[in-house]
Amino acid sequence: MKRRKTLKVLSLLLAVVFAFSLVACGTGPSADNSAGSSSTVASTGTQAGSETTESKDPSGNVRFLTMAEYHDANVKVVEAFQKAYPNVKVDMEEYPFTQLFDVIEIKLGSQSSNFDVVLTDATMVSGYAYRGFIMPMDDYFTQEEKSEFIPALVDSSTYQGKFFSPPIKNSCHVLFYNKKLLQQAGLDLPSADPAKRLTWEELVPMAQKVMAAAKDPTVYGLTFEQISRAYQVLPLVNSAGGKGIGDDGITAEGYVNGDAFVKAMKWYSDIHNVYNIAPKGVAASETVGLFASGKIAFLCANIFDYKTFKSTEGLEYGYAPFPYFAGGVAATPTDSFHISVSSNSKNKDAAAAFVKYFSLGEGNDIFCESRGEFSARISKLNVYNEDPKYNEEPLSIFKLADYEAQNTAFPRPKSLGYREWESVINNTMEDIRNGAAAKDVLDKAVASIDAKMLPYK
């Protein structure tokens, strides 16, 4: 009897273990490298570089954790870097935008020394520095070199007075429009002059007219490239006079459920659920393609998309300044990508040399020109205003970007708990887009953010 019972207990135990193994095999997230792709750019020459302040002679391997969408530009930068620094070999490990930040949290959180250089979103600099993921770069950048960057971006790069992460690009958003669709609806083309900026309220009837004239249920009036992402949608709140979070980077009450936030999100809901001028169920990754294929009349998008639109056969597009709310202030999305050295890197000098090459001088020029990016360097901004080629379309978009950067740009909030805040806000924006009552879900978002900010209080 005893033996029978023992056998029974053992068999049940094995059943439980088997079920646990099923769970482990079937549902656990994989933290290996399978989602990313790794590539090595071969060194092709031995020509000396033109760095100005680098005194050391770095050597060895550098592993760069970066975004797959930047692959072509990254390869060009790495090739040029390896010509300038023939003793350094750079490997890239690339992940799609939607996975990159989770991967960084996992890999750097494990204190792995496998990565030397990390692409860093501006809002994450303080969080990574706080957690000890990245190291200060003050020893590698002179004050003069730091002053080459736009001051607001140096501020984004700085945590507790230390310079951690130089910017490699700035960003600016405009309102792209499809000329054919607007002309078909008998509308005047919007001006690129910031003084004649459209309001969001004016844009609604224009979009409705376009949709009525198109007589095609797959054509929509308006959408955002980064739909339901704080990066692009939060400026609606800024335009209505609100902020994403309190100045302490922690307080959500009164901001996330404040009048301005509610007003902006009510409008955001209305364009999807009342006016029906914006498509629902379309992912951020689809919006540029929809505009390029003539299915969207107005697209709020990053200026670098001009390269895609310029090369799209049959697409006639124009651009205008990012709209604002009547009675409010002009507010355009901005923020930068930065590049950092991992605190656990075993080859900090070589990594710092790569970071410097990527953010200043030749490497940064290659990156920005390859992708059509808005530069983070003051000397380059001067070029936009002085070089006559930037007076003509499509490059004149950089002059508008320069104006917006100096006058209307609203970066995302700085907070040690930015990832928590952004995650809640993005989900809330998507819920509002899908028809949830703005005030109700914003109140819930406040409770959620408050709970998640407790570790930072």
List residues binding other proteins (CB under 8 A). Answer: 1-2, 5, 10, 12, 14-24, 26-29, 101-102, 105-106, 109, 111, 130-132, 218, 279-282, 417, 419-420, 423, 427, 430-431, 434, 436, 441, 444, 447-448, 451-452, 454-455
| Closer CB to other proteins, 378 or 451, in the complex | 451
Asked if 287 contacts 144 with a C-beta cutoff of 8 angstroms, the reply is no
The distance of Cα 262 from the centroid of its chain, to the nearest Å, equals 24
Position 323: which residue type? Answer: P
| Closer CB to other proteins, 395 or 436, in the complex | 436
| Closer CB to other proteins, 229 or 377, in the complex | 229
| Closer CB to other proteins, 236 or 432, in the complex | 432
Asked if 366 contacts 77 with a C-beta cutoff of 8 angstroms, the reply is yes
Task: Compute the least distance from the CB of residue 117 to other proteins, in Å.
Answer: 19
List CB contacts of 443: < 8 A, sequence separation 6 or more.
Answer: 257
List CB contacts of 94: < 8 A, sequence separation 6 or more.
Answer: 36, 37, 38, 39, 66, 67, 68, 70, 71, 74
Task: Compute the least distance from the CB of residue 445 to other proteins, in Å.
Answer: 10
Query: Phi first, then psi: what are they for 185, rounded to 5°?
Result: -90, 5
Task: Compute the least distance from the CB of residue 174 to other proteins, in Å.
Answer: 26
Task: Compute the least distance from the CB of residue 239 to other proteins, in Å.
Answer: 26
Q: What is the DSSP letter of 228?
A: T
What's the alpha-carbon Rg for the chain, to the nearest Å?
24
| Closer CB to other proteins, 75 or 282, in the complex | 282
Residue 319, classed as helix, strand or coil, is strand
Task: Compute the least distance from the CB of residue 19 to other proteins, in Å.
Answer: 4
Task: Compute the least distance from the CB of residue 382 to other proteins, in Å.
Answer: 39
Q: Three-class SS string for 80-122?
A: HHHHHCCCEEEEEEEECHHHHHHHHHHHHHCCCCCCCEEEEEH
Task: Compute the least distance from the CB of residue 90 to other proteins, in Å.
Answer: 26
User: Tokens at residue 238, please?
Assistant: 């800024």
Task: Compute the least distance from the CB of residue 3 to other proteins, in Å.
Answer: 10
| Closer CB to other proteins, 134 or 351, in the complex | 134
Instruction: Give me the residue label for tokens 């910017």.
Output: 167
Distance CA 130, CA 125 (A): 8
| Closer CB to other proteins, 69 or 430, in the complex | 430
3-state percent breakdown (helix, strand, coil) of the chain, nearest 5: 50, 15, 35
Task: Compute the least distance from the CB of residue 127 to other proteins, in Å.
Answer: 8
The distance of Cα 412 from the centroid of its chain, to the nearest Å, equals 10
Alpha helices in 147-292, H assignment, sequence order: 151-157, 179-184, 200-214, 230-239, 259-273, 284-292
| Closer CB to other proteins, 154 or 437, in the complex | 437
CA-CA-CA-CA torsion sign (104, 106, 110, 114): negative
| Closer CB to other proteins, 48 or 451, in the complex | 451
| Closer CB to other proteins, 372 or 417, in the complex | 417
Q: Strand order in 220-224's β-sheet?
A: 220-224, 296-302, 173-178, 317-321
Task: Compute the least distance from the CB of residue 391 to other proteins, in Å.
Answer: 40
Task: Compute the least distance from the CB of residue 241 to other proteins, in Å.
Answer: 27
| Closer CB to other proteins, 57 or 248, in the complex | 248
Angle between helices 418-433 and 438-452 (to 10 degrees): 160
